[in-house]
A and B are shown apart, each in its own frame.
Chain A
């Protein structure tokens, strides 16, 4: 029967056919609905997409007319140079209308459009296991710097513009422009925009002509207001609320009423009362609207934090190491307790005399303020570099002044096994540690939490230590409290901060809020060449090659990772070799234009060699600001005793060592 039905009956009588018909028609209706809804949403989105397209096209026109002007120009004529410079200025303004998107979508291509330097070496946190990347900059800023150089070649200048013309095409690719069809990218791009407003745009970091910083800021803010309006038209379900828009309007008004000179601009008020408010609201949108990221720029920034001046702004180094998957508070506090004992225990060193606390002295902000550089293991020679404070070390993506290490654990292991420092070896060290019953019992318990580790290893020991010393970085300073409206701060501190952000040029390397070399989007650590001398006679530059030893390149010779200025009052001596003893000396050195300013021959100094022309009063204000970054650190008391070892000789060791 079944057979007949299938084979014999005319095809239009077959029952399955009718069923199929129904299913097919339902599917067709569904498809039409889906297609229609898509086309509606597409039409709906167009205002915002159109603005993106037209703004990019406007900038492209600026680029090509700049190219034409350069082609026709006579580079030996001062008049023609001025015409080119004017055109660069107008192209920069057009760029401000798309800056909001460009920087977020593809920062590497952006560097070819308006990079601050011809060559930058980067090592970003998500590239932890990759070699440093060379980023070639081109475009407007680099072209302008080139025009101020001594020898001009039209071809080289044109190349800088042509590279930027190629780079802008990146932003027209589907993979990027398709992101404009959903709201997610908007709040993340806006977050980066706000962070850059606080840390980069007002400092002259990428605007060599300081007279143009505030005018450009104004056009940037206006361009972005336009983006906001069209965004709200296209995405009414996930809008910027009135509260945000009102706060933004008042920001624009504030900037319009501020002096045009960036040295007189009130950076303090701008960040505290305007940008930080906007940041809090934008973070709230990111949570409320369930914003998803597919962009590497968002890698470290914490979605749950509500203020720029917080230690939770971006994720610090991992302090737990092998214990990363341990959540149990009780066990964690046990790991911390063992870590503390180990921190003070000279058993970790080859001669059982040195502990972590020997150089990172707990009563001296976890550094050694009594020596330029610590003594080597032989107690005779000095190490090449100053002991850094452990406070806030977790906020560096690369560790050591040359960025040798990518994790706290790797750094810790290096110190323990380095013949010039603690001169121990893994096997010996573990044997000695496990000769103490207290350690042995604890690590046996911890071993069970790390199934991937076969035996108790240096990984366990170092992770316990980093879990302990990573906790020194959680404190805040009066300046943070002032920024978060919890405290009023003196007028000289505000003036000092405003100088720091402008005339004194500190903030072009020490970025808000940690005032270290980590700038928005807080995924990499920066290195600078400032020409630190060997000694205060300023005859020779320090022979330390710095970053060059890790990544040899013309740009990295004598480059060092930018340190934080938090707690600087208490962490003397200063610079990588501890050459300066007071903050006054440091500021005088920068005021003079670094090593170049002091007439040392340095070809690749990243700091301008001209004097900053700071007055005595201004220097005092800068120091007042630096003092306001002294954190309310609660120092640990050292343990009363160390675990007993089965090896009697080891029981003579002293808490904290004897170095």
Chain B
């Protein structure tokens, strides 16, 4: 009995740990060189951190987000106007308007390359 409980406990812990460390995967085309892949991944990672800290309150990728605010599906972000509209709109995107072009780029790279969970 004890051993069964033990096994269940271990399984439970594994699942917990897996949930916690589940990495976001990125879709980087296969023809991209290893060096550029590393650059892309670095940008994605910076973008993820910036997004989580500054955007996810409204845009629900990591959290619930707000109703009616885009969750940035692939289609939404593919339209490059997003870059412009985010940075320009001082009212709803005051934080994004402050960001450097590189920071915006990191976020857009993150959003466009991340593989959405089904």
Which residues of A approach B to under 8 Å, CB–CB? 126-130, 293-294, 296, 298-299, 318, 320-322, 324-325, 327, 406-407, 409, 451-453
Contacts and interface: CB of A to CB of B under 8 A. Distances in A.
Given A321-B102, A325-B54, A325-B95, A296 B49 contact: no
Contacts of B83: 126, 129
Interface in B30-75: 45-47, 49-50, 53-54
B88 interface: yes
B98 A325 contact: yes
Nearest to B102: A407
B100 interface: yes
B102 A409 contact: yes
A129 B100 contact: no
Nearest to B83: A126
Contacts of A322: 100, 102-103
B84 A451 contact: no
Interface of B: 45-47, 49-50, 53-54, 80-81, 83-85, 87-88, 95, 98-103, 105-106
Contacts of A325: 54, 95, 98-99, 103
B105 to A, nearest CB: 6
Given A452-B46, A452-B50, A407 B101 contact: yes
B105 A451 contact: no
A293, A294, A325, A406 interface centre (most CB from chain B within 10 Å): A325
Smallest CB-CB A-B distances: 7 pairs: A452-B46, A452-B49, A324-B100, A318-B100, A126-B84, A324-B99, A452-B50
A321 B80 CA distance: 22
A299 B88 contact: yes
B100 A321 contact: yes
B28 to A, nearest CB: 16
A505 to B, nearest CB: 33
A299 B100 CA distance: 14
Given A324-B98, A452-B45, 13 more contacts: A126-B83, A129-B83, A294-B85, A296-B81, A296-B84, A299-B84, A318-B100, A321-B100, A324-B99, A327-B98, A451-B50, A452-B46, A452-B106
Contacts, number: 53
A348 to B, nearest CB: 20
A34 B46 CA distance: 47
Nearest to A320: B100
A451 B100 contact: no
A404 B47 CA distance: 24
A126, A130, A298, A322 interface centre (most CB from chain B within 10 Å): A126
Contacts of B106: 452
Contacts of B88: 293, 298-299
B113 to A, nearest CB: 14
Nearest to A130: B80
Contacts of A130: 80
Nearest to B48: A452
A126 B89 CA distance: 13
Contacts of A294: 85
A325 B104 CA distance: 12
Nearest to A323: B100
Given A126-B83, A126-B84, A325-B95, A451 B102 contact: no
A615 B102 CA distance: 49
A269 B112 CA distance: 51
A407 B103 CA distance: 12
B46 A407 contact: no
A165 to B, nearest CB: 28
B10 to A, nearest CB: 32
A293 to B, nearest CB: 7
Given A451-B49, A452-B50, A406 B84 contact: no
Contacts of A406: 101
A130 B98 CA distance: 21
A339 B102 CA distance: 20
Contact of A318 (B46, B54, B101): B101
Contacts of B54: 325
A299 B89 CA distance: 9
Contacts of B49: 451-452
Contacts of A324: 98-100, 103
Contacts of A321: 100, 102
Nearest to A407: B101
A197 B80 CA distance: 31
B47, B53, B54, B101 interface centre (most CB from chain A within 10 Å): B101
27 contacts: A126-B83, A126-B84, A126-B87, A128-B101, A128-B105, A129-B105, A130-B80, A293-B88, A298-B88, A299-B84, A299-B88, A318-B101, A320-B100, A321-B102, A322-B100, A324-B100, A325-B95, A327-B98, A406-B101, A407-B100, A407-B102, A409-B100, A409-B102, A451-B49, A451-B50, A452-B49, A452-B103
A348 B103 CA distance: 24
Contacts of B102: 321-322, 407, 409
A427 to B, nearest CB: 16
Nearest to A406: B101
